[in-house]
Amino acid sequence: MYRHRKQVGVNLGSLFCLEGWLAPPALKSSGLRHDWDSEIDYLEACESRETARSSLEEHWKNFVTEQDFAFLANAGINAVRLPVGYWAVADKEDLTGPFKKFQGVYDAAWNYIFVTIHNAAKHNIGVLVDLHGAPGGQNCDSHCGSSTGQAQLFSTLGSHNESLTRKILLKLANALAPINNVIGLELLNEPQDDSALSNFYLETIRQIRQATPNIRLPIYIGDAWNVDKYSELLAKHQTELDFCVLDTHQYFCHMPADHAKTAEQHTKHLTTGLKSKLAAASQRIRGNMVVGEWAVVLNGKSIPKGQHDGQVMKDFGRAELQVWNETCAGQFYWTYKTADDGWYWSLVYCLKNHIIDQPVPGGGFINVNNDVIGSIQSKKEATMQGAYNSHVQYWSQQENGKNVVDNAWRFQQGYQKGHDVALRFVEGFKSRVGFVGQLAHEYAQQHYNQDQNKQDASANAWQFEHGFCQAVNTVNQELQQAGAF
């Protein structure tokens, strides 16, 4: 259920992949020779490897604790995205470039990553592990581990980096796949749209599927700021790649073009053009899309004179959440904590100052009484019959609809299963289905496997999926009407 439910999430930025502007005071001042931005900057600012190791281990132990997960669960957060640098998970002999001389510093990191995952599980929170910094860097930003401004993952000299990245991802996949509350593995964060990226994605996913044949671990890929291109890539290879999810990041404050728009103009673009674009991309890939990073933050130039920035960003954030919830299977705020939790990049700040509603909208955890569940259950036969009648009526009027009508019982079976599964998510896990199309596809595969008439089953599996999706959406609508989320 962790992997298919609606993901209402937040990023745990600067835990296992440091960013200077997010780091707590203890990592910014204690015994350092100079200021720093990236992970390698931090290591080189430390007085010794021993100092770096002990300081990092204290950071991994204390920056995000079990108490933080209790706080997040209480706020309606049911998932976290966990950015990790390759240096924290690679075997020490595989450290490359400037990290090579810091072998031994990260010996304990692997264990602390799994402690974090375990602490999340205690509060029914799923974890999306994200390779945030790859060998050589998948983009030019300092969150890749260095401040050189170079992206060398796919450079002419980067073939070693590419193979090492794949080795690290396979190590992660093998370790993470069996863990119940690991909701996925993200291959690369915000990669440059290199000509080699598509093939890297496809080959890496194939190798992960071969390495974990009996476990359907969701694989997430970054859209390289091109949601159309990479949704089309996944759509083309969906059958062979199975449960793959597109991660798109949406910010409205970084670029000069963002600064030139007012908050009202941003909101109009968000709720019209961008919403349509995201909906179309999501529809191509069974709805397997999340907004892996977003924030309420707007540039000061976008705030109308005389208006309080907090109210403007609160209104904009509500509009964002509505779009993400209507078009995607999940969303993850950037980020949970900042250096002082004194600005809108911090979810802690946003919750404390009522910029984002609590519980966070989206239905991360659903609390409904038995009367509501009983009411939904009692309507099942009527809603199923109504949906079935509409389905048959439409196809009986189509020129080539006879075979569809003859197999419309598959629609009924899909509806029955979808309704039961949706209520099982609510009763057993206080959640709602988020990856509706994916789950429908998986149950349709079971339906096909159990059917003796493979030709008709194959040709009409879509009817089972269609019925399943209608039922889940009906249950979700009834839950929303009951005020469950």
Asked if the model's pLDDT at residue 314 lies above 90, the reply is yes
pLDDT at res. 456: 87
Token pair 């931005």 in the structure block, residue: 37
pLDDT at res. 379: 96
Q: Classify residue 97 by burial, with Cβ atoms within 10 Å: 0-12, 13-18, 19+.
A: middle
- Can you say whether residue 365 is alpha, beta or left, with left for phi > 0 and alpha for psi between -120 and 50 degrees? beta
b/e for 174-207, b at 16 or more Cβ within 10 A? ebbbebebbbbbbbbbbbeebeebbebbbebbee
Which range, of 22-31, 64-73, 103-112, 353-362, averages the lowest pLDDT?
22-31
Do 465 and 444 touch, CB atoms closer than 8 A?
Answer: yes
Asked if the model's pLDDT at residue 34 lies above 90, the reply is no
Q: What is the mean pLDDT of residues 152-175?
A: 90
Which range, of 4-8, 203-207, 364-368, averages the lowest pLDDT?
364-368
Q: What is the mean pLDDT of residues 433-449?
A: 96
The two three-digit tokens of residue 255, written as one number: 């670029």
> Which phi and psi (to 5°) does residue 19 adopt?
-135, 125
What's the rounded Cα separation, in Å, for the pair 78 and 370? 22
pLDDT at res. 51: 92
What's the rounded Cα separation, in Å, for the pair 268 and 277? 14
Q: What is the mean pLDDT of residues 194-199?
A: 96
The two three-digit tokens of residue 265, written as one number: 């103009």
The kind and range of the H/E element at 168 are: helix 159-176
Q: What is the mean pLDDT of residues 467-475?
A: 98
The two three-digit tokens of residue 160, written as one number: 């070693």
Asked if the model's pLDDT at residue 158 lies above 70, the reply is no
pLDDT at res. 367: 86
pLDDT at res. 32: 77
Q: What is the mean pLDDT of residues 263-283?
A: 98
Q: What is the mean pLDDT of the chain?
A: 95
What's the rounded Cα separation, in Å, for the pair 459 and 182? 34
Written as one letter, the residue type at 368 is: V
Report the share of the chain in percent with pLDDT over 90. 91
Report the share of the chain in percent with pLDDT over 70. 99
Q: What is the mean pLDDT of residues 197-222?
A: 97
pTM score, whole prediction: 0.97
Residue 171's alpha-carbon distances to 91, 126, 166, in angstroms, are 10, 20, 9
pLDDT at res. 172: 98
